[in-house]
Amino acid sequence: MAEPLRVGIAGLGTVGASVIRLLDRQSAALAARSGRSIKVTAVSARDRTRERGVDVAGLVWFDNPVDLAKSHDIDLFVELMGGDEGPARLAIEAALASGKSVVTANKALLAKHGMSLAKLAEEKHVALAFEASVAGGIPVVKTLREGLAGNSIERVYGILNGTCNYILSRMELEGLSFEACLADAQKLGYAEADPTFDIGGFDTAHKLAILTSLAFGTAVDAEAVQVEGITAITLADLKSAEELGYRIKLLGVAQRTEEGIEQRVHPTMVPRSSAIAAVMGVTNAVTIDADAVKELTLVGPGAGGDATASAVVADIADIAKGIRSAPFGLPVASLEAATRPPAQRHEGGYYIRLSVHDRPGAAAAIATRMAERQISLESIMQRNPPAKRGAANSGTAKPVPFVLITYATSEATIREALDAVVADGYIAEKPQVIRIERE
């Protein structure tokens, strides 16, 4: 059997400790499958005294992760610290520059510096592996890069953030407010004290940028992703979705269009009969539309120590076997620049919720503004009876909720029409617009 693969791990939080436990528990099986044993020989973390539930007494300890990355005591560097700059970036660059392969779960770093790191890995003929960076324990990176190499992919979309899916699931099933569900998510450790990165859609955008590169051969560019989070979703929207046969999910979507590869993150109404609609709680799911396999959906845990460690260990095992894939499927020089096409025609239409002042002619005026821009309305629904005319005349009537369902059109056209409606003075608050995906 070949010499052991000596692994150095920077970051001994939940995931790092889980990786050590998993490597120990599966050591015999991994050695048999890889043709060599895998040994953690060195680690780096901020606090040597912290109890982690794993024995690190016999390991070489480095206070500086960059020193670990350069060390002759390891063959492979595993980065589990997080952050798109600072120690994580410096340590990965140091490891690659010294001819060591790298495994990371750091989607933020890859979204920002993935191309330069991949180029360095190519120059040094080492691996840069990142299965754990997207969708936790779901093997979507390998599926896109190797498993579907013989396919032409048209679209990749999915639930890529467990925090948002947890919040939307609880709002729908328990009738709780967004604020209450977010507070519970923070108590359970699903959301950070500052949850903006998750609920604003930015975490999903980073992951989508990585999947887009793998699926379509483009350079990773998170700035090319159109991003909208879930903070504006209300119980009224979830109720309307249910009545219409849909469920609201925050989706990351990348698809091939005539003007280039479109990347977007936004709340979406998906049919309740679809596989992705059934994904609840912190679970993630990714659907791939390709010419040979047609539609493939992968569902599994999107976060957590063991799930993420599973993906990290899978990459370590590949490297132990001598597998060296181009990080993003193609050499960096062959990747095309990411495009930023304008909002495209969206098949399936849009859900629009308006808070309309109860005035004569309001509904007709709204329909006229839509017709002026050739937006066809599938239905107009008033969500509750209007106030009594006396109350309306006195100026005390509450605005009336209206829901519009459109046929296929572009978001830009929808926004133009709604700007005109707002200018007419019929709308009491900002309109809610949600895309509809149909099977």
- Taking the CA atoms of the chain, what radius of gyration do you get in angstroms? 25
Taking the C-alpha atoms of residue 52 and residue 285, their distance in angstroms, rounded to an integer, is: 30
Taking the C-alpha atoms of residue 386 and residue 20, their distance in angstroms, rounded to an integer, is: 63
Q: Tokens for 247? A: 């469920």
Catalytic residue among 70, 112, 142, 207, which? Answer: 207
Q: Residue 200 burial (CB < 10 Å; 0-12/13-18/19+)?
A: middle
User: In the block, which residue shows the tokens 């100026």?
Assistant: 395
Q: Tokens for 213? A: 């590169």
Q: Residue 334 burial (CB < 10 Å; 0-12/13-18/19+)?
A: exposed
In the 8-state DSSP scheme, what is residue 218?
A: B
In the 8-state DSSP scheme, what is residue 437?
A: -
Taking the C-alpha atoms of residue 168 and residue 431, their distance in angstroms, rounded to an integer, is: 20
Instruction: Note whether 369 and 421 are within 8 A (CB).
Output: yes
Residue 287's SS3 state is: strand
321: annotated active-site residue: no
The bridge status of strand 345-346 relative to strand 246-257 is unpaired
The residues annotated with a catalytic role in the active site are 207
